Structure 1
Amino acid sequence: MSKLTEEDVKQRFITPALVETAGWRKDQLFMEKVITPGQVIVQGTKTKRGEIGKADYVLLGSKSRKPLAVIEAKDMQHTITAGMQQALGYASKLDAPFAYSSNGKGFIEHDFFTGIEREIGMDEFPTEEALWQRYLVGKGLDKNGAALVAEPYYVDPFNRQEPRYYQQVAIDRTLEAVAHGQRRQLLVMATGTGKTFTAFQIIWRLLKAGNVKRVLYLADRNVLIDQTITGDFEPLSGRITKVKGKQLDSSYEVYMSLYQQLAGEGGEEPFRQFKPEFFDLIIIDECHRGSARDESLWRRVLDYFSSAIHIGVTATPKETKDVSNIDYFGEPIYTYSLKQGIEDGFLAPYKVIRAGLNVDLEGWRPSNGQVDVNDLEVEDREYNVKDYDRNLIIDERTQMIAKYVTSWLEKHGTDSKTIVFCVDIEHAERMRQALANENLERMVEDYRYVMKITGDDKEGKSQLDNFADVNEQYPTVVTTSKLLTTGVNVKTIKLLVLESNIGSMTEFKQIIGRGTRLDAEHGKEFFTIMDFRGSTRHFADPDFDGAPVSIIELPVPEPGDDGEILEPVWPDEDELIDGTEGPDLESAGGTVIICDPPWITDPGEDPEGKVRVRGVEVKLLNERIQYVDPTTGKLVTESIRDFSKKSLLNTYSSLDSFLHAWSAAERKDQLVTQLSSRGVFLEAIRAEANGTLDYIDDFDIILHVAYDKPPLTRRERINHVKKRGYLQKYSSAGEQVLEALLDKYADIGISEIETTRILNNDPFTQFGSPKNIASLFGGRDAYLQVVHELTEALYQAA
């Protein structure tokens, strides 16, 4: 019995205890339940998936599909408690109230409500009804609350998509809070994690349960409303309407509206056409943009419908000592951050290219008597990146950036969807022209290859849907100032160019969020951030993935006021909505200072107010590529080689310890994957070597980087094996198979030859089917043993 494997224990003891004894149905019992798909780890131009997060058993409520328990199984050589740590981790992630560990001899139960752990027999596992009742008692839910949380999700009959684990937690916690009578709630979910899908499921379950009858969904941009109605909210078709004009139809269940559409202007206040108690639930999308501020026009809408449940949804909550959306909504009932999303593998990671131009790093000062393009003398002072394109235009700098961006596109794919964030609309137009001139052939193919999409440009905005469409190639490269910083879902963005002075942490988070959506089907597994202005320094700020940003709100000083006035980065004209977002200013000590402007003109929009010069020498002084450390989620600040060496030595302190681990590994590629998840960037080291390491094995790169050993090429290793006559002990056909395997190793490395999959491809098909090939060596197991011995022979030269 002690030799039974973990799978034997599951099949012979645990599953029967759940199904036959405790009465759990098989459709409630999920074995090897994948919770997280594994972090996408970027190495050079390639990616690998980290370890998949999966629980041995997840038990779901029959109706609600809420995870009630997680069970981790171990073989009988382990103690009954050996799987408890894993079970607790998965249960905590899933918000499951009970965790169990078993080795087939009994169960250990952990109750998250009481913290008590107890041992029970294999015939004592609780029934679904028992755990459900303990959950209801633990949450303090009465009969009505029980009915609400038992209401099932909407499941699409075609793709059977159920919420991801964090969406399920957010939805369930919201319903539990509603059941307890909590009228103000806040959900914080990183961009790209499905906030609207989560909101839809909340609305669906509350409508079906009868807790609400009419719902108002508020957003601040038309594109958000339109994407939502035709996307995640499509199952509500016929029951949902978009508020248009001044006459409001009261015959629908769900209403989508812009804040300003209901708030009106000139004192009209169209929202008053509804009775104050008309809506039972209001979802406030992107609530960080000011909807909760006391003096906001939008706040009038919320105050008028004050009897409704108000749920704020945001990726970047804001907080101030006196007034904030946290003060309005309360502390978040659930937070799912960008860092968590990347670690779990639901969001795309990024790498950063910091490009340093001479005029940016050293500043620029005009020569004595130098004039601009209008023959006016340029003020004699030192200019820097905060001046460029706001006060001073250097044409050669714009051209250099356009050349640099184009060279990246030519290297990594000219069809890569790209957003260039500029200082203002005028800068976006000049950058569009410079990029167009660098991409003449592609512009001849389609003039939309490079386009400006800003608030003032009707033609550009009309192409926004095409830019977001994964099946549309054009527009490909887009310049903008503020319009695309938030709310626009472009899954296939591969390059974000930061050519704007981004002082606000909130704005920075929103911009980075444009690239975080994964779309492996269309080749999007990570994205690149190209930074010309040092904006990626925000990654090192604790606020980037930490507590909500603290806000101090100040009025704009009246003309003639004394004192220093920080110059704002003004939004596009049509994106200011009653001044509630305001301009973004430089962050000081984690505090963003926001001025609420009494006007909506952009002093930087008039090109006549900018000094423009030509004939300046602009050159690239340095380029630095940074990757995300998969163990900490932080950008690696030292060289990739030095960082990888440190990570290797932290794992294997000596050459002998590494060689032992390498020899013991059943699959070498799995060990390399494990090292990747610990911050060993082998592919990035290859990329930096500009081809000199292309035919060097991962094994040799590790020896060279960590232990200063001279690397051998894969062909040199093959020659060592052949010189020792290793292949000659096999039949002629067997020797030919192994020769072909070694040729594949020379081309692609060890990863593919360790499995039988490669036998389905040329040149192996000439030897027959994989089964026939394996028979040359005595069968599949014997073949795999031969391959294992062959790999050992390859590495004996070490």
Structure 2
Amino acid sequence: MTPETKARLLIDQKLEQAGWIIQDYRQINLGAALGVVVREYPTDTGPADYVLFVDRQAVGVIEAKKDNAGENLTVTETQTGRYASAQLKWRKDSTPLRFLYEATGQIIRFTDNADPAPRSREIFHFYTPQILAEWLTQPQTLRARLATHMPPLPEQNLRDCQVDAVTGLEASLALNKPRALVHMATGAGKTFTAITSVYRLLKFGGAKRILFLVDTRNLGKQAQQEFMAYTPPDDGRKFTELYNVQRLASPHIDPHAQVCISTIQRMYSILSGEPIDESAEDLSPNEIAQTPSQAKLVRYNAAVPVELFDFIIIDECHRSIYNLWKQVLDYFDAYLIGLTATPDKRTYGFFNQNIVAEYSYEDSVADGVNVGYDVFEIETEVTQKGAEVKAKEWVDHRDRATRAKRWAETEDDTAYTSKELDKSVVNPSQIRTVITAMKRAVETQIFPNRKETPKTLIFAKTDSHADDIINTVREVYGQGNAFCKKVTYKAEEDPDSVLAAFRNDFNPRIAVTVDMIATGTDVKPLEVLLFMRDVRSRGYYEQMKGRGVRSLDADGLQRVSGSAEGAKTHFVLIDAVGVEKSLKTESRPLERKPNLALKDLLQGVAMGHRDDDTVLSLANRLIRLAKLLDAKAQARIEKASGGISTRELGKNLITALDPDGIIRTALNTAEAQGITRSEETLTEEELTAARNQRVAQAAAPFDNPALRDEIDNARREREQIIDHINLDQVSFAGFSAQAQAQAEKTIQTFTDYLQQHQDEIAALGFFYNQPYQRRTITFDMIDTLHQHLGQPPMMLTTEKLWAAYARVKEGAVKGVNRQRQLTDLVSLLRFALGLDAELHPFADEVDKRFQAWAFRHNAQRATAFSPEQMQWLRLMKDHIASSCSIARDDFDYAELAGAGGLQKAWQLFGHELDGVMDEMNRELVA
């Protein structure tokens, strides 16, 4: 197959994926579909490779090239333009064709000749015929509207920095710059500014749909709340009353949504086919690796075409967009707009140094938007120098994961440095000394006139460290559970409720976190930040400091801190670990397979898995493990490896992949074979062989099963030495009476609403009229109810209602820790109305009913469903679980379409298909 033929086959495949029918010009049938592509169409300047017809009209041309022409594809633009302006055979109209493509099998470039100053751009995939048809009906293109249709910005209720940001962005868009960066200090209102721009782009720019991309579920929730609270300056209604806003919790993107809020993790999952790790949406990309366990490339998804979004707003854009997940941004043909308070060099580079607004922290303090801060240092002997536990001392040994203790004698002298504190050794005296010093300083020097403890946030190293701090804080302050609480994703108490109380209520006065509220979460009353962990990332450190910068008026501050005099004027950063002085870098994690167990990585390398991701992930785990192991464990591993330390085992793997080292090895190999080579003349085969040789050498020790076992045992058996006999036990912090009352109030509000509005909303009528209207429930009905409940003042989200029921009726509520879906609202309704005795996730109920229905149906049929039919029924069941119903149109969605769509289902079920769907809708939902 020639390169040209191969490229044509790939182009044909991509066109068909986008919904085009491909024909040879001698068998042309323009009525075959909305979009028809004709190969080798004759023109007066020669045959064009492909001519595009939409609704029987010629609208575009594709100039095809072989793959190795990709890097010079722009030089063919003149040739494409010649065909677009040529006279097409049998075409009466001589107007130049509007849509111009240059394509190889791998690269596609596109030009819209209706744009002002038409300019080609690379796109991931061909557009669908439907979008070209839609563009043809519009009097101006999006780029033309951005250049001419944006009216002056009303400046009332906007800060100067927000005005600068919106106008700067619109000026950039008017110049057709594809990427723009908005740099605004924490607390300056980045999200409010972004929503102002979104509103104007939808209303005046004619944008069809905008993606608001975040990197944690918590930030997605906050963004959704801000969209719901936003009132535009020229309309008295809320944003969500004017435009549909969807926060993605499933692969289904609402075709009626004008704004979609999604984590980059979920969007990557949709586009790659990689199952999403729900917990990954809760974790900060600063603290974990960004690469999923099995790296997959994004591929075209017909349900999510590349033109789906006109704009992508990337919140805190410096954190998650540079590695594998960058493919999400490459996929869509959309303007990219970055929002960040802490840009770095990569951020500037990614956004082409197009900084449309810059508002620094210093500017924000000068303007009174934020407050300044003072640094108060606490140094202790153990923090600075470490300590030593002598041999034969009886001390506690505590398991890291379970926190179970055993009382045992130390075998050797154990010296530990400050870096090992709260890792291999916990010194309660050190924690107590720091907390006592903080208490004394705050009460006598920092805020001497306060009657209550100022709102304080403590940054801990790990969840275990956070538990130790909480116990010590409660003891030192002589307070109970409500005074100091943990706010992390691993906390047993609902973190959102604790955070809301920390922000708005008197208690807790002190919160301890690892990373949940280190970034992106506003707690305006915060006046003290205590760092009990160091931070190596400069950007992350600035984000953490940003939690205290928000200004607050006197009324707001006194609402939670009654003895405060006047407005918040500053906050105090208490540095107990030297975080202000430590070296900060912008390094990225080595971890490539965070969800793969260490023993599996070891086994994989031993079995010959030598790809970069596996090798680097194992190296990262070994280097981390080396920092945690005691001398005895290190010695056992070194003995099993033949004298190589744990750290060196990891370092050797990294060194094996060093590009310069690979080149040196390849040159040395060539020289030993008598071949003259330079760095420039080395072949790919020689470099690959050198790479494999180096990796094989570094991985050779792992062939020894005894070493693999020793490493895994050391990981499982490592313990913390507790350097004190009087350590508080970890106790469960139950829901406070106040939180219980709030949950009961939430449930009562929900119940009252259902009773008052049963005649107004279709979904409520469905349930109040059981059982005769079971077949009428639809996703739109549930979505409408969800929107009503989510509007102020109720703000009753599915997550909030589920959490409230879990507190009040704990034993009857299942699936508390599961990701909520919109269809879970069906289960909430049934439970609230007394139709179900227990509250189960809707998908679980659908599964249960499906099993009963399928069993009953098979028992009643002369011939049971075939295995292939059952497979299709399960796909249909899964669609019902996420959408409440199934109809013929739903077979266009990705999961069903990918399995063959309506045509395949009709082959399997024939005329029974509609009846089966009706029966499933009736049996599985109600």
Q: TM-score range by the shorter chain?
A: 0.3 to 0.5
Structure showing the higher strand proportion among its residues: 1
TM-score, normalisation: structure 1? 0.48
Structure showing the higher helix proportion among its residues: 2
